[in-house]
Structure 1
Amino acid sequence: MKQILTALLCLVFCRAHSQTLYVKTYGNPKDKPVIFLHGGPGYNAAFFEVSTAARLADKGFFVIVYDRRGEGRSPDSTAQFTFGEALADIDGLYKTYKLKKAVLLGHSFGGVLAVKYAGKNPAAVDAIVLADALLNAQETYRTILAKVKGIYQEKKDSMSLRYIGMIEQMDTAGLAYNSYTLGHAMMNGLYGPTHFSEEAKVIYQETKKDSVVKKYASQMTRLAPTGYWEHEHYTTLNMLPELKNLVAKRVKIYAVYGKDDGLFSEKQVAAVTDIIGSDRVGYLAGAGHNVFADQQVSFLNDLKKWLK
């Protein structure tokens, strides 16, 4: 029976506020639940869903994957794009699957929501796992600009250096500053590892063929970044003080970052390590921003070690 349940890919819809969310589950509902919180704002869970969800379930977890309200496969013209709304939808998942506790696996911007939810409902959180999580937005932007500036200086690319100079003069809390900075990170390959492992090459080759990945993995929902910026000022968020508060409340927190993730410096990872402890941090060589796919075996082994 467990083998059948583990192999079952069950597509369900979670109703909250009279709207539907795209939700997909993997594994045995009797196993420890893990809710994946995807990045963004404006992204979706498609790449994690296809590349990693079933493999995580095979480690003995009940994996719940969903797209946030108004993002990806959860279209909603009434979405407000607020933390309150996003946290209420996580509450909806708890109710739908009758969860008393769950692990929150927050990737990138999803890490912000994991921390926010645990701050609101610490008793409902078995643990938080931060995967390449955005915790200090302004420090991330500075890290990116420093790295791309170095790349352009090495190339003697005066035009691009001029653009960086213009970005540095922008309002650092503004959405344009955020967008242009991340755009240069993307153009210069800061999201991916310097060299893909053979394991990662196979994973990416397989997922590229998947119809879900083809349709959604590079799709961005334009309203979400604007909405979260207007309502939550996410471009100035610093979650480290909240992380310290959770540690004080004895919430279990773990983190996995890729050493080749150009969005975060060693200093940023060290700041997280100082708060949660070195035995609860995986800093994986050969992994970029999608650490769960770039070094999947190590990522899954870390989660099993920490959470089982």
Structure 2
Amino acid sequence: MLIRQASNAQNLELQTFGDAKYHPVIFLHGGPGYNSVIFEQTTAEELSRNGFFVISYDRRGEGRNEDLEANFTFEQTFRDLNGIYSDFNLEKATLVGHSFGGIVATFYAEEFPEKIESIVLASVPISMQNTFRTIIESSKKIYQDKEDKVNLSYIAQLEQMDTLAYGYAAYSFMHAMSNGFYSPSQPNSRAKELYQKMKSDSLVLKYASKNSYLAPMKFWENEAYTSIDLKENLKILNQEGIEMHGIYGKDDGLYSEEQVNTMRKILGDDKVKYLDNCSHSVFVDRQQEFIDVLIGLKK
């Protein structure tokens, strides 16, 4: 069951699924500049049927909350999250951070460890710089194999840019998108069903390709997000006893196996899933395995 409502303190539009007495899960979407629509329209309700109270929202200044005034800082993002905790009288919750949302979850847990039941890091960049290098190297190989001189020239220009610059990140992600790095090579039957369903879902059609240009630029200006590396942050959280699990797809062109292995070394082999026939949207590509991770965390 979906309930659309506003967070009292923040005027954020948010969506809830399931009974409020169940285990609370807050979904944090990717980006910056994206939204939670695909998660909500494919997986949130299914997750709630497994005994979870799911809260999902778009960050201030992004997606369906794009019109709200935003500073595009982690500090403001944390205030909004704390407001959601307050509105629903949550003492603790499981945070599901997808992609950039996993960075938000990690930094929030550092600031407010007492509010964390557990964290699921879904397709999260451990190192932004490593992610950009992976995209560029993989794209370059594709263009070399195709003898695509035009795109090889673009890659050559990209390789000469300041790797911390906003443009370096933006162009890298453009190559990832054009080369299909976000799509599974051989989706299973459930994923095929969900992708087919999305083709006729008006909300997905409206928001699936809608990216805010202001949010990533401002997060870059305010938080230097292109330089973020989570290794030490995750090590500290793990040492402090924060329960964390990672889930990645082998078809996700944003991350090398090296990044996934780094996550395994930090969290432990048994706490990181690296799935076949799965790309960036792990909650679509391998929905049941994604839900199983959360079921395993329920106390």
| TM-score computed with the length of structure 2 as normaliser | 0.98
Structure 2 match to 1:266: 257
Question: How far apart are the structure 1 equivalents of 2:19 and 2:169?
Answer: 40
Match of residue 206, structure 1, among 163, 172, 197: 197
Does the 8 Å CA contact 1:111/1:135 hold for their aligned counterparts?
Answer: no
Does the 8 Å CA contact 2:26/2:55 hold for their aligned counterparts?
Answer: yes
Q: CA deviation at 1:77?
A: 4.9
Q: CA deviation at 1:221?
A: 1.4
Match of residue 97, structure 2, among 92, 106, 112: 106
Letter in 1 for 2:144: Q
1:1-308 → structure 2 map (5 Å cutoff)? 8-16=1-9, 19-308=10-299
Does the 8 Å CA contact 1:200/1:294 hold for their aligned counterparts?
Answer: yes
Does the 8 Å CA contact 1:196/1:286 hold for their aligned counterparts?
Answer: yes
Q: CA deviation at 1:120?
A: 0.4
Q: Which runs of 5+ in 2 are unaligned?
A: none
Letter in 1 for 2:6: F
Q: What CA deviation, in whole Å up to 9, does each residue of 1:270-289 have, x standing for no partner?
A: 00010001111111100000
Does the 8 Å CA contact 2:60/2:68 hold for their aligned counterparts?
Answer: no
Q: Secondary structure at the match of 2:64?
A: coil
Question: How far apart are the structure 2 equivalents of 1:216 and 1:150?
Answer: 31
Q: What CA deviation, in whole Å up to 9, does each residue of 1:158-177 have, x standing for no partner?
A: 22111101001001001110
Alpha carbons of structure 1 residues 77 and 61: separation in structure 2 relative to 1, 3 Å: closer
Does the 8 Å CA contact 1:72/1:216 hold for their aligned counterparts?
Answer: yes
Question: How far apart are the structure 1 equivalents of 2:144 and 2:122?
Answer: 31
Q: Answer with 181-190 or 202-211: which moved more.
A: 202-211
Question: How far apart are the structure 2 equivalents of 1:156 and 1:223?
Answer: 35
Question: How far apart are the structure 2 equivalents of 1:108 and 1:148?
Answer: 20
Percent identity among equivalent residues?
46
Question: How far apart are the structure 2 equivalents of 1:192 and 1:75?
Answer: 26
Q: What CA deviation, in whole Å up to 9, does each residue of 1:111-140 have, x standing for no partner?
A: 000001100011110000000012210000
Q: Secondary structure at the match of 2:7?
A: strand
Letter in 2 for 1:9: L
Q: What's the RMSD between the two structures over aligned residues?
A: 1.0
Question: How far apart are the structure 2 equivalents of 1:180 and 1:81?
Answer: 21
Question: How far apart are the structure 2 equivalents of 1:23 and 1:78?
Answer: 16
Runs of 4+ in structure 1 deviating by more than 4 angstroms, as ranges, are none
Does the 8 Å CA contact 1:190/1:261 hold for their aligned counterparts?
Answer: yes
